[in-house]
Structure 1
Amino acid sequence: MSPILAEFIGTAVLLLFGCGVVANVILNKTKGNSSGWIVITWGWGMGVFIAVFITGQFSGAHINPAVTLGLATAGLFDWGMVVPYILAQVAGGFTGGFLTWLTYKDHFAATEDPTTKLGVFSTIPEIRNYGSNFLTEVIGTFILVFGVLYLSSPGFISANGDFLSTITIDGQQVGFGLGSLSALPVGLLVFGIGLALGGPTGYAINPARDLGPRIAHAVLPLSNKGSSDWAYSWVPIFGPLLGAVLAGLTFILL
């Protein structure tokens, strides 16, 4: 699988899980209706885990333009691949939003409130204050990218790929790490960010997570869907990007 395709698939999987769990919680007549914030944050965390698990070996599983930009800023990713990765991620975000709509189509029809419908696709601040909302996204994404920079070689594996710990099996030295569970810490990081910092804005912390599904909301034939709230859309795009650059620069400094 090519890295670009992997980023598209990984981001689509992430958004299907993420938008899907939001739809399950807030749309009418679903099995998970009104099940709450813990369900939403856990669903997003598991979406990250599965997406990283599927695509990590092919692309590094950035699944987020902020992560791509942060890694490039820190000198850990090729700047020439930044734009192709971001385009694939936004396209994947759109696809995840579209698949969520297909899954919950009847429940969108059963839900009258246009803000609730938009909330499945995009973040909406609880208190609209663009300066505060922007700062919230910067802080949340800084924590995400700063954490990812230190989790980029998960398990017991050094930065150059050498195993730091080995055991002897049948006379052979075998290195060990977390294996498939190496994707889990990133999912738990996103879960924790949602619990701790997600209250003000819904923690986009990922431009593709917000922009791709917002485009889907704008073009899909939803009844009584209202505005796609483009006036707010710059916050979950540029806030995370700034947070990512600051995280990359801090990583270099330290």
Structure 2
Amino acid sequence: MSRAPGFPTRGFILNFARLGLVCLAGYGLSCASSNPSLGASRLPDGSLQVKGPLAGPYPSLEELALNACELMTRQPGASNGLYGFEYCALNYFSKEKNAYFLSYLSSFREKLDSITFKTCSMPTSLNDPSHPDAVIIGFNHTHPHSRAFSKPDLSAWIRWNPSRSGARNPERIRDRHLMLFYRERTGECRTYIFNLATRIVAALREGHWIPIGEVYTPEGDIRMFDNKDWLP
């Protein structure tokens, strides 16, 4: 979820008119397009399930993040600033393959976008028959106009429990996380991760996670570490 402060709220229809897409950002609806990267569907209970894998295998979470950022921020509208919108996806781990995978993407949303406020509905289950041992460990989303996590993003640890996956098998315990991908106007892809267990926010820089802040309230307030910021 992303919000651009300091801009007046305007009609969400401009998002799509400027992109030349035929879609409706209505409640619980997804953009109607032939985008082959989309693979989410609504289940009878109202939850979202997404197919997999779209990408992978990757030997490390860092490599998955680098590639997922490139792939997701190049989707139609994903980097169109105030007139763009968000995409969501899952990442997951297969012990048999000892590798990480990215699911197909979701463009569903539960509320209307505005010029300043963007959302996407996160899938909660995975359909990947080729990896029956898959464990969902991460939730990914793009921001079209902000490189920083929003407060609703950072209150995610309250809603998504447990914050660690595979608790019944010590060998498979992994902290769950929320990733954010943002493409600068210069073309550089920024990747951030929020650890739902430790509440630490880190930036991926030169292939390594660098802690830059800590979430200290249930509402999603972040305290940046000394000499750290969203930009290097």
- Same-fold call, TM cutoff 0.5: no
- By percentage of residues, which structure has more helix? 1
